[in-house]
Amino acid sequence: MTLIPGHTSDQSAYQSELGGILTIVAMIYNICKYYAITKDHIQIACNGLGPLTQCFAKYQQLSPSMAHFNMIMSIQNTIDKTPIDWHWQHVAFHQEDKTTLLD
């Protein structure tokens, strides 16, 4: 379970996507540390293009005045500490939005 910081009236899909990415990145960091993983790769897929590009795009200009700056910086700093080659992919739709189920 992921707890998203902030009051419930301040919650947004963008913030929830960041919270999910932060949880994944933190878990991978801890797994690498525990099992002494020195090199590997992972791909994260998300329907929120904004959070993906803000977290994973190299040379992304960040400013402390940006919304959710603390979460984005935490994600980027944790990514930099891992021996993982990170890849990301934008997915256009949630599975339940389609008329047929996907595997």
Does the pLDDT value for residue 16 go beyond 80? yes
Does the pLDDT value for residue 67 go beyond 90? no
Residue 5: inside a domain: no
Residue 8: inside a domain: no
| C-beta separation of 71 from 23 below 8 A | no
Residue 49: inside a domain: yes
Q: How confident is the model at residue 101 (pLDDT cuts 50, 70, 90)?
A: low
What is the rounded distance in angstroms from the CA atom of residue 54 to the CA atom of residue 90? 12
Q: Answer whether 0.85 is exceeded by the pTM.
A: no
Closest CA to 72 of 57, 82, 87, 83: 57
Tokens 């190299």 correspond to 58
Of the two residues 103 and 88, the one the predictor is more confident about is: 88
Q: What is the pLDDT of residue 99?
A: 57
Does the pLDDT value for residue 59 go beyond 90? no
Q: Which domain covers residue 29, as residue numbers?
A: 13-74+86-95
Q: Give the count of domains, the chain.
A: 1
